[in-house]
Amino acid sequence: MKNLDDILIDLSASHLTVLLPSEYRYAGTAVYGKGIGAARRVINLKVDENYSGDKTDFKSPEKSIRDYAMNQGWMESAIGFLTSASMDSYAASRLSFDKLRVETHLTSGLSNARAAGDEAEYRELLSEVKSGGTINTIVICNTPLTLQAAMEALMIAAGAKARVLQEMGVKSRVSDAIATGTGTDSSVIIYPDSKNQAEEIKYAGMHTITGELIARSVMNALKKSLSWYRK
């Protein structure tokens, strides 16, 4: 188990960053990162809106985040997200049970709300999707996880997000069905590394306290965030 009290949050009009006390393992869909790996800093970078499609000279997501980090003097290993949502939508939730601690940090926007199965705007398989109003979710656990448990945790986080959108009656901008997310959502599960497999949590589904805390943490943070968004 790790103490998460040493995590540093830096919030400005242009970014949210989470600085971990050391390199942690991660699994997720961050646009800047390798899907799975290790990093010390998580960057959530605000970019310009482009709903009319008039701007075409975008940097790649990787270059946007890498250049921003260099300009800020952030030299740590990093993963990152892009969003056009306001950083004022930032919300967090921290929950614990016994020695287990889970916390969620997220920003949200609903201009890009979609329901799973909506017709896609991008019909080419290798199209690069531009970021819109996005729900970017960072979940941190103080206990080592197996990779399988981390993947299960990502599913739990996605289900928790969909439940909040359902409860709040958020509709898809395409089909008018209840939204299950936005078209460009990203999520990451972050957890400490361990050399001892006996320390690793093997399951993080809905039957487990780990899954419960992850879901409740995501739900609490997203409800707070969307309450600001809907003001």
What residue segments make up the domains of the chain, in order of their start? Answer: 4-229
Calpha distance 175→22 (Å, rounded): 44
User: Quick check: 114 and 180 in contact, CB under 8 A?
Assistant: yes
Residue 46 half-sphere exposure, CB side, CA atoms within 13 Å?
Answer: 16
Token pair for 134: 């996005």
pLDDT in tens, 184-221: 999 999 999 988 888 899 999 999 999 999 999 999 99
Token pair for 176: 């008018």
pLDDT in tens, 42-66: 999 998 764 334 555 667 888 999 9
Return the CATH class of domain 4-229.
Answer: alpha beta
Helix (H) or strand (E) holding 11: strand 8-11
Calpha distance 184→47 (Å, rounded): 13
pTM: 0.92
pLDDT in tens, 60-97: 888 999 999 999 999 999 999 999 999 999 999 999 99
